[in-house]
Amino acid sequence: MRIDVLTLFPNMFSGVFNESILKRAQEIGSVQYNVVNFREYANNKHNTVDDYPYGGGAGMVLKPEPIFNAVESIKEDTKSTPRVILLCPQGERYTQKKAEELAKEAHLLFICGHYEGYDERIREHLVTDEISIGDFVLTGGELGAMVVIDSVVRLLPGVLGNEESPVQDSFSTGLLEHPHYTRPAEFRGMKVPDVLLSGNHKLIDEWRRKQSLKRTYERRPDLLQSFNLTDQDKKWLEEIKKERSLF
């Protein structure tokens, strides 16, 4: 996969792309990063990328020319048609399902804005996806792009090492993930559940499934509304609800 990022602050990505999983993904050849300062594509001697909004109002608006020029240059150089992703509060709420969809692409291009907003022609004629990472406002799109890129790159084959890891993540299955424990079996009087020490994989799988259902019911019951429950899931969920009603 190739990932291009258009930003006015390219140095923000240096540490992110050169640490941990994102660095490993690049080292093994799963992804190639290219960070571009779109100020370099401005059409004036001062490299101006923003201007006052027509009709008046607070703040400055990103001009169309630098971003159009940068996107067109990347398309010409790569001879490809990337998914062009705009990070903005008006975009669709980002989900694991969207991450899985984007992970199937060969080329992603992220546009990170600043100031009051974008010239609308950027949305209408360049962008394929508008994404918001939550109902809050950041000073720019860089942090949002980092979040999306991290969530996508970790899904690429071979990046995590264990192919089962992303499959079992919270939201990937439709449920929140079950609790995890490791050594020691007892710590300050707090013990690991006996079933996890039993070696009985059938019982362990059942315990984990029930714990996922319980955690989802307690913390994100909205997820259960669209989840396809098995008959056994329904029985466990009834047990969970009865247990809750006793307290």
CA atoms within 13 A on the CB side of 51: 14
Amino acid 48 reads T
User: Longest C-alpha distance within the chain, in Å?
Assistant: 72
Q: Which of 10, 53, 64, 89 is catalytic?
A: 89
Q: Would residue 169 show up in a list of annotated catalytic residues for this protein? A: yes
Tokens at residue 191, please? Answer: 């013990």
Residue of 65, 100, 105, 116 with catalytic role: 116
Contact between residue 142 and residue 111 where contact means Cβ atoms under 8 Å apart? no
Confirm or deny that 56 is annotated as ligand binding.
no
CB 71 within 8 A of CB 6: yes
Give the per-residue SS3 of 153-202.
HCCCCCCCCCCHHHHCCCCCCCCCCCCCCCCCCEECCEECCHHHHCCCHH
**Residue 227 counted as an annotated binding residue:** no
126 labelled ligand-binding: no
Q: What count of Cα atoms within 13 Å lies in the side-chain half-sphere of residue 228? A: 1
- Stated length of the chain: 247
According to the annotation, is 135 in a ligand binding site? Answer: yes
138 labelled binding-site residue: yes
The answer to whether 137 is annotated as binding is yes
Establish whether 5 is an annotated binding residue: no
Instruction: Please pick, among 169, 177, 206, 233, the residue that the annotation labels catalytic.
Output: 169
Q: Is there a catalytic annotation at residue 193?
A: no
Whether 66 is catalytic: no
End-to-end alpha carbon distance in the chain: 50
142 catalytic residue (yes or no): no
Binding-site annotation: residue ranges for S-adenosyl-L-methionine: 113, 133-138
Catalytic residue list: 89, 116, 154, 169
